[in-house]
Structures are given as structure tokens and as C-alpha cells.
Structure 1
Amino acid sequence: MATSEQNREEARRLMAGVDEDLAARLLRGAIDLHVHSGPSTMPRQLDHLQAAEEAIAAGMRGVLFKDHHYSAAPFIPLMERLIANPDFSMFSGLVLNNSTGGFNPYVVDAQLKMGAKLIWMPTAQAANHIRSSHRKSRLVSNVQLMASPALTVVDELGNILDSVKQILDKVAEFDVILSSGHLHVWEIWKLFDEARSRGIKRLLINHPMYGLHFTYADIADFAKLGVIVEQSAAMYVDSRFNVYSPQELKEHIEAAGVANSSIGSDLGQVDNPTPVEGMRQAIKLCLALGFSEADVRTMVADNPARLVGLAP
């Protein structure tokens, strides 16, 4: 098995052969639904306004800000007034960690009414994440918060919790995105079955092969149900979070198929590429791996736009 440095070296080698102008053209119009800018409990190399300004300079169409411990959704109107660019869209959502209320439908209702576009299941405080952190994976947070109960969407019999059902009804009512967060794949199957039965149309899985215990068959089966499978650029490009080889990126995308795949940067941490640079590298890497320009645009622009309700 290749080391992270070997993966990064291979990625750099492949990206070097891709035309910079072509990558820049494909970055224009892209939407990054996984931006970790600040302020945050964890160190970030740029704040939300700086992340938006960098994306605008690259010609991108929009970004979605994600923080594990608060929602930036209520601040979007303020940032829109400061940026004043009608051609650029900013979004945020709520992660259902204990620090934001956990499975509290009242908090979800309020955030949706303040413009949240995405509801993530628990991440840093999910039971599956905590188990992964015990194994010292890259899902480990570098900030020490109060000890938190491990969150799961099911009861002791494996049934979806009533509070989660209430939240799903709210997601369906507002027609926003539901993300699997860092739940275990078994929980995600239960959750998404329930979500689909309650009319949720916008379903998203983040980095399924990392920490969530997916198989390629799981990815393919979710894709057949219309779920969008997002790959995190940070895990494949020249990043300190790199854990996969370029060939594995190709395999992970092909498991879902381009039509059901998207790419988000999952970047904004210090000592890493910026979100925009991560997206640029991911585009170059996909082109080097043989994906067509149309394929790349589908993954970085069209599918994200469809998720947030923007026209292609």
C-alpha cells in the first residue's frame, strides 16, 4: 500500500501534465459544497468572506460553508450585502452534533427558516466518528471540546429515532439537502430508507470510503437510488489529508458513476491547499485520470447546482 507522500507525488506528477487554462475554465461555474472556512473552533486559514472572495476571483458560482459546531446560514444575508455579487451564491447548513442541539427538531426548524440549505447528520460527535477517532484516524478533531455522548440515529432495536423522523419531515418540507454526515454505512441505509419514504429528494453522502465503512457495492446501490456521492478533494490531491491514490479516486467515482458523483474540497484547514486550490487540483487530477471535460463539469458544477436548487 502506497504512503500518503507517494500518493501526493503521483497526484503531482499527473496534474503536471494537464493544461492550466483548461482546468481554469472548468473551475469557472463550479460550486464547492464542502468549505471549512472560519471562524471555527479549529484553526482555519481563511474566513468565510475570504473563501467567498477567492472563489469569486476564480469564477466559481458558489460555495457552501460547513462547520461542525455552528451554522453560518443566518450570516449569509450579511455576507451577500458585503460582497454584492448577484452571480455568486453562498449557502450553509446545520450539522446535528451535540454542540448544535443534536437531534433537536426545534433547532432544525429555526435554522431552515433562517435559510439553511443542508442538514448534516452528526459528524464529530457521531458514534461512528468517535470510534474512528479512537483509532487515531484523520477524523480526529484537533480541538478538545467537552466529552460528548455518541450520537446514532437508531434506537437499541435498530429503528430510526422519533426525533430524527421529525427532522426528516422538516428536511422534506423545506426541500433541502440531507447529508449522511459521519454515520456508519449501516445507519445510513436505515436513515435514507426512512428519508425517501418521507419525501426527501436531495440526498448526499460525504467521503463514503473514508471512515464510513462503505464498500463499492454500497456506493453503487446508493447511486441507483439517485443519491449524490461526494468525494473530498482533500483526500486525493496534494494535501496533508491525502489518504488515497489517484487510481482510487477514479475507482471511487466510477463506483457511483459520474451522473451521481460530485466533488467538494473539504478544505480550509491550516497547512493545506485553500478550497479553491483544492478544487483546481481535483479538476486537473480527474482530467489526468481520463474523465472528460463534460464529466468534470457534471461533478463540480451541475450536480452541486442541482442539489442546492440552482439551474444548471
Structure 2
Amino acid sequence: MTDIETIKREQADRISEILTGAVDPHVHSGPSIAQRAIDHLDLVKGLSEAGFAAVVTKDHDYAGTMTAALIRAHHPDLTTQIFSSIVLNNVVGGFNAFAVEHCAATDGRIVWLPTLAAENHLQWANATGTVHPASTAKIRPAQAIPLFEDGKLRPEVLDVLDVVAATGMALASGHIHASETRIVFEEARKRGIERLIFTHPEDIVGATVEDMKAIADMGAYLEHSLAYFVEGSKFRNRTNEELREFIDHVGPERTILCSDMGQLGNMLPLEGMRGGVAICIEQGYSDEQIHKMVATNAAEVIGLTG
């Protein structure tokens, strides 16, 4: 084995060690109305072989908790725990407290504020010409789900926040604007929500550095989607150095790195996570700091620890 091959092998082993016990809390596996590169079962098989502790699946249109329960029940040999989540888009009725309660009762771990139906997302998609693969002729186009009425959070939003607080699930900001996230998260904290996730501040949501720091100061984790950073991802629009800048705004202690992968034509989530760890090594973070960002913090926010 040449010196270069030895270095590559040592690097690969180091990445594998860092990812032992990892948690990917944001994966777009299938089945889905949008075509996916991998389904939930094959996802868990691959992550189990890699030593991941857990994964949370996310679909813009349905809560995958029943599928997760079936996989856990019928494949006890798989060591990666699979959980799911609910996204408050049109298909589930937007801010539907009944749907959130059902998700919690079936062991859902994250409630996402609107994504494809967020007013901010629709404005961003219109401005950029972005068409999401879930936007098909099979269902009607997304209709905006507002957060506010007469300058105040709508009663339906408050009902959902109360359910999240009562059930202990995590609340993720989805694709609402960063300025809206600050308002919702402030109310969430008042109502007793302890687990908060600021979704990919690097894209779509219009976050400033001030937004990121203020939201982290509320006790939220900033979740960065490696799909925007890892070379080879079809969504890459950021550099390795920019990932370092985003992390350093709040530090590894308040940072989660997720794949946000599983889309057709993109690298698989495990490959994305390995690429993200490689970037962090190259940017000078310690193995302990990286493990915190790919494992410990996400485990805490989805209720695996603490």
C-alpha cells in the first residue's frame, strides 16, 4: 500500500470512528410523492452497518411514524433506530394540532413548521424559479399557510406549540423566514418548548448572522444541511470555508450537521455525512467537536439522551 493509500485509509477510518453513534435528524428517504434515491428500510440498513445510533426521516407531505414502527418491529437486527416527523404543510392541514398529537402518539420526534407551503418558501421559489420535485400534477399546487393574523400568531399556531410543549417533541423552523422563526421560537420558549432546531440557515430562510446568534441564544440548535456544502451534492452552493464560518457563529456546542439528502440523483445520506465530517476535519475541528455536531447534539434534541 502506498503512502497516499495509507493516508486515505487512515482518513476513512477516522471518519468512521467519528460517525459511530451518529444521528442524522433530517433525511428525505422514500417512498414519497417526490422520487427518492433510497427507501426508509435500505437507509436504516446502510446506517446500521456504519454504526449510526438513529435517523429521523422527513417527508414534506406525510408523517412516516408508522413505517418507522414497522421497521423497528420487524428488523430488530438493525442497530440504527429509525424515527420520523411531521411537516405542517397543506397535506396534513397546516397547523393541525390533531395531526401533531397523532405524530407524538406514534413516537414522532420532530414537528417542522411549513416548508413547501411556507409563505417565505413560495416567495423564494417564485424569485429563484425553483420547482420542488414533490410539486406534481398528482396534487394541487401548494397554498401558503400563514403564521400571523392581524400582526399576531394565529390561534392554530399557538395550539400546535402547546401540543409540542406537552409532548416533548422538537420544533424545527422549516422554511419560514428567519425573522418569523425568531418570533415563533420566542413564543415556543414561553410555552415550555425545550427542543428547538433552526433549519438550514444557510439557504432559503434569509438568515443573517444576527438571526443565527439570537436564535442560538434562545437555546436552539442551528442545523446545517450538508447537501449545500459537500462536493458532489447536486445542491452544493456553499464552500468548505463557509461551513466553518456558519459553525463558528455559534460554535459546535449549538450546531447540528445533517445530510438533508435522499433525493433522486443526489449522493446518499451516509455519503453526505462522511463528506461533511471530512470537511470539518479539513477545517481544523477536533474529533470531539465533530462528533458533537453529528451525534451528541442531535441525540439530545430528538430525546435520545437527557
- Give your verdict on TM over 0.5: yes
Instruction: With the length of structure 2 as denominator, give the TM-score of the two structures.
Output: 0.93
Contact 1:206 1:230 in 2 (8 A): yes
Alignment of 1:84 with 2:59, yes or no, is no
Share of identical aligned residues, percent? 34
Counterpart of 2:182, as a letter, is: W
**Cα drift, residue 137 of structure 1:** 5.8
Specify which of 142, 155, 169 is matched with residue 176 of structure 1.
169
Specify which of 38, 47, 53 is matched with residue 30 of structure 2.
38
| 1:12 aligned residue | none
Counterpart of 1:283, as a letter, is: V
Q: Deviations over 1:247-301 (max 9, x none)?
A: 1100011112110000000000111110011000000111101111011010001
Specify which of 132, 135, 141 is matched with residue 141 of structure 1.
132
Question: 1-side partners of 2:284 and 2:110: how far apart?
Answer: 31
Specify which of 92, 102, 108 is matched with residue 94 of structure 2.
102
Question: 2-side partners of 1:231 and 1:45: how far apart?
Answer: 21
Please give the secondary structure, in 2, of the residue aligned with 1:214.
coil
Specify which of 220, 227, 235 is matched with residue 234 of structure 1.
227
User: Which 4+ residue blocks in structure 1 deviate beyond 4 angstroms?
Assistant: 15-18
Question: 2-side partners of 1:215 and 1:227: how far apart?
Answer: 15
| 2:262 aligned residue | 268
| 2:46 aligned residue | 54
| 1:190 aligned residue | 183
Contact 2:186 2:218 in 1 (8 A): no
Q: Deviations over 1:167-207 (max 9, x none)?
A: 10000001110000100111111101110000000000111
Specify which of 59, 65, 72 is matched with residue 67 of structure 1.
59
Please give the secondary structure, in 2, of the residue aligned with 1:19.
helix
**Cα drift, residue 111 of structure 1:** 1.8
Contact 2:109 2:303 in 1 (8 A): no
| Structure 1 gaps, min length 5 | 1-14
Q: Deviations over 1:151-174 (max 9, x none)?
A: 1211132x1110110110000001
Contact 1:120 1:178 in 2 (8 A): yes
Question: 1-side partners of 2:69 and 2:61: how far apart?
Answer: 20
Number of paired residues? 296
Question: 2-side partners of 1:190 and 1:71: how far apart?
Answer: 25
Pairing of 1:211-290 with structure 2 (within 5 A): 211-238=204-231, 239-290=233-284
Contact 2:116 2:142 in 1 (8 A): no
| 2:145 aligned residue | 151
Counterpart of 1:268, as a letter, is: G
Q: Deviations over 1:48-93 (max 9, x none)?
A: 0011111001111110000000010122221112221474211111
Counterpart of 1:294, as a letter, is: E
Question: 1-side partners of 2:282 and 2:129: how far apart?
Answer: 29
| 1:129 aligned residue | 121
| Structure 2 gaps, min length 5 | 1-6
Question: 1-side partners of 2:101 and 2:45: how far apart?
Answer: 30
Stretch deviating more after TM superposition (69-78 or 262-271): 69-78
Stretch deviating more after TM superposition (214-223 or 145-154): 145-154
| 1:23 aligned residue | 15
Question: 1-side partners of 2:94 and 2:10: how far apart?
Answer: 44
Please give the secondary structure, in 2, of the residue aligned with 1:262.
strand
Question: 1-side partners of 2:186 and 2:73: how far apart?
Answer: 40
Q: Which of 1 and 2 has higher RCO (CA within 8 Å, sep 6+)? A: 1
